[in-house]
Amino acid sequence: MRSPTRSRSSGFTLVEVLVALIVLAIGLLGIAALYVDSLRASRTALLRTQAIAIASDLADRIRTNRQACDSTACAYTGAGTVTATCENTTGCTAAELAANDIYRWNQTAATLLPGFVGTVEFAVGTPNQYVITVTWKEPDIETDSTFALTVYT
């Protein structure tokens, strides 16, 4: 007589399924970490691009209004002021236009960059030299980020 034999079951065991789930979970966590890193990098790239655009905007304003600076002072330094006559095309001196430009530049940049601080340093020479510095606070980074642009007129 034959003794009843156990038939070997085919398929996966519970241990194999658990190992597969663990491997899958580790893979998905890796993908999620890469996704978070890519979001952080794209945010950083966006802020840097905005900083470059902001500095270039003021450089163009300075090049357009070269009369705002003479051998002793420059109206493109400081915080600037709003000049009502500079909001239209008539009745605005070069210094008033520069003060209005720097004020509007500071306002716009503060809305685009978190923790924005902008400075313009002027050095008399041939040609005159301006150093436009844009500083902002990157989220999740302790030190401030800075972009500096040198303009010669």
Closest CA to 98 of 85, 84, 80: 80
Sign of CA dihedral 103, 104, 110, 113: negative
Query: What is the pLDDT at residue 22?
Result: 95
Peptide bond into 139 cis (omega under 30): no
φ and ψ at residue 135, rounded to 5 degrees: -125, 140
What confidence tier does 63 reach under pLDDT thresholds 50, 70, 90?
confident
What confidence tier does 84 reach under pLDDT thresholds 50, 70, 90?
low
Q: Which residues pair with 22 in a beta bridge?
A: none
What confidence tier does 2 reach under pLDDT thresholds 50, 70, 90?
low
What confidence tier does 41 reach under pLDDT thresholds 50, 70, 90?
confident
> For residues 65, 66, 69 and 70, what is the CA-based torsion angle, rounded to 10 degrees?
-140
- For residue 64, pLDDT beyond 80: yes
Q: How far is CA 150 from the centre of its chain?
A: 18
Q: What is the chain's mean pLDDT, rounded?
A: 84
Order across the sheet with 129-136: list the strands: 117-123, 129-136, 145-152
Query: What is the pLDDT at residue 9?
Result: 61
Helix, strand or coil, per DSSP, at residue 119 = strand
Query: What is the pLDDT at residue 97?
Result: 84
- For residue 3, pLDDT beyond 70: no
Helix, strand, coil shares, percent, the chain, to 5: 50, 15, 35
